[in-house]
Amino acid sequence: MPEAGRRSVMAFDFGLRRIGVATGQEMLGTGQPLAMIPADNGMPDWHQLEKLLAEWQPDLVLVGLPLNMDDSENDMCGRARKFGKRLHGRFHVSIEMVDERLTSYEAKGEVMAAGGSRDFGRHGVDDRAAVLILETWCRLQTV
């Protein structure tokens, strides 16, 4: 395992239609959008995920946990946890769940501010949300 602060990290923004993916380095504290994987009612293309994990070989995988504003969990939290467990079971990667409240909202705002349209599915909202999940986790590591 690499020393703390030097880990490569991959983050996932789990969704029922798409799963955003980002990658980054803990030491830099920033992420880059990597991909948007299509999903069918939350079931991803596992082969695509396998290829990404094999290519990038992250030391840690983050999965966004869409908590309610009052810290309670909802149905999507259970589905995101299940996705994280499946990633761990299939690919033997270390998983951490990360509070992702408002990341999709913030990502939509960034896309719109950059001149994107309201057709968010084609303009990088999900992979941008994954970047925000990764960067949130990095900030928490320095506290």
For the chain, first and last CA: distance in Å?
Answer: 22
User: Domain boundaries in the chain?
Assistant: 8-141
Order of strands, sheet of 30-40, starting from the edge strand that comes earlier in the sequence? 43-44, 30-40, 18-25, 8-13, 60-65, 95-99
According to DSSP, residue 59 is labeled S
Answer whether residue 107 shows pLDDT above 60. Answer: no
Q: Output helix, strand, coil percentages for the chain, rounded to the nearest 5.
A: 40, 25, 30
Across 66-83, average pLDDT: 91
For 8-141, CATH gives: 3.30.420.140
Q: Are 105 and 112 in contact (CB under 8 A)?
A: no
Q: Name the one residue in this structure whose structure tokens are 């992702």.
A: 100
> Measuring CA to CA, which residue among 126, 127, 108 is closest to residue 118?
108
What is the model's pLDDT at position 33? Answer: 93
Answer whether residue 71 shows pLDDT above 90. Answer: no
Across 101-113, average pLDDT: 55
**Model's pTM, two decimal places?**
0.82
